[in-house]
Copies of this chain bind each other. A is one copy, B any other.
Amino acid sequence: MSNALERWHAYMESGDPQALSDMLDDDVVFESPVVHTPQRGKEITFKYLMAAAKVLGGPGFTYVGEWHGDHSAILEFENQIDGIKINGIDMIWWNKEGRITRFKVMVRPLKAINLLHQMMGARLAQG
């Protein structure tokens, strides 16, 4: 496993915001399951990933699969929120320094995306 991916898994274990911040490149781009337009930069990406961790990363969160590419990986996850099963992927790209340069999330089924859309909106509005 690449060092970047090891650090990601370590962060998911610890939930340490500083570890997340340290991993993100200044010019990282975040692409959400809900909106087409990419979010650019470390500040907004950090905000989204922290909100996603609060919303999605509850006790039932489990990674169920991992696929590897060139300086990138896809991690499939499952969880259940308010009785709705959520299945999705984290797509992670990193640079030579091991910093994350791009992070994309997809979620299924439709019911789960609608729930996530609501919950992320509420969470981001709280700041």
Residues of chain A having any CB pair with chain B under 8 Å: 31-36, 65-69, 72-74, 76, 85, 87-89, 91, 104-114, 117
**Is the pair B67, A34 in contact by a Cβ cutoff of 8 Å?**
no
Contact (Cβ within 8 A) A110 B117:
yes
Smallest Cβ distance from A92 to chain B, in angstroms?
10
A68 to B91 Cα, complex, angstroms: 13
- Whole-angstrom CA separation of A118 from B34 in the bound complex: 17
- B65 A68 Cβ-Cβ under 8 A: no
A67 and B115 alpha carbons, distance in the complex (Å): 28
Which A-B residue pairs are the 9 nearest by beta carbons?
A: A67-B67, A106-B106, A67-B69, A36-B109, A34-B110, A33-B108, A106-B108, A67-B74, A74-B74
Question: Contact check: which of B67, B73, B107 meets A72 at CB < 8 Å?
Answer: B67
Q: Report the separation of the CA atoms of residues A104 and B76 in the bound assembly, to the nearest whole angstrom.
A: 11
Q: Is the CB of B69 within 8 A of A68?
A: yes
Partner of A69, one of B32, B33, B66: B66
**Alpha-carbon distance A107/B87, docked complex (angstroms):** 12
Specify which chain B residues have a CB less than 8 angstroms from the CB of A105 in the assembled complex. 108
| A33 near B68: Cβ-Cβ < 8 Å | no
- Given the contacts A74-B74, A89-B89, A109 and B35 also touching, CB distance less than 8 Å: yes
